[in-house]
Amino acid sequence: MARLYAQICTLVFLVVGVGGLAAGNAGPQYAQGGGNVGSLILHLTWARDVLDIALLAVFAYVGFVARRGPGRILTGAAGLVLFALAIAGFLVGDDAHATKGFLGLHFTTALNLLDLVVGVLAILAALGTVEDPEPAQRSVLRG
C-alpha cells in the first residue's frame, strides 16, 4: 500500500514542486505576496519548493526503488513531516501580504489542507502495508 501511495504522491509532488518553481517566490516585496497560481493564494517560497522537491525524491524512491520495509518507514516519516507542517500551518497561519511565516515557509489554507490530507494518508498507507510472512523453514528430513 505504501508503494502505490508513494507512486501517486510522486505525481502530486512533481506538479507541486515544479509548479512552485514556476510560480515564483512570495515575500513582502510583492503587493499580493507572489508565489500564487491564478486567483489561488499559495505564497510559495523557495524553501517550500525545496521541501516539495525533497518529498518528491522520497516518494519516488519509495514508489519505484525501495523494498517494502524501508518504504513503509520512509512513507510514514514523510507523512509525519507533512502532518507536522499542517499543524504548524494552522497555528501560525498567513495573511494576504505574505508577511507572516516561519522558517521561510508561508502557511496558506490550501497548503495546510494539502499537507494534512497527504500526511494523514501517508501515515495510514505506511501502517496499512502488510509485510509478507517469512517462509517456513523446510526440514531436510521432511522435504
For the chain, the structural domain boundaries read 2-128
- Evaluate whether 79 touches 130 at the Cβ level (below 8 Å): no
Quote the pTM value. 0.76
| Mean pLDDT value of segment 26-38 | 51
Question: What tens digit of pLDDT does each residue of 82-117 get?
Answer: 999 899 888 877 665 556 666 667 677 778 888 899
Interacting residues of 127 by C-beta distance below 8 A, sequence separation 6+? 76
Model confidence at 34: pLDDT above 60: no
Amino acid at position 25, single letter: N
Output the average pLDDT for the chain. 78
Torsion region of 38: left, alpha or beta (phi above 0 gives left; psi -120 to 50 gives alpha): left
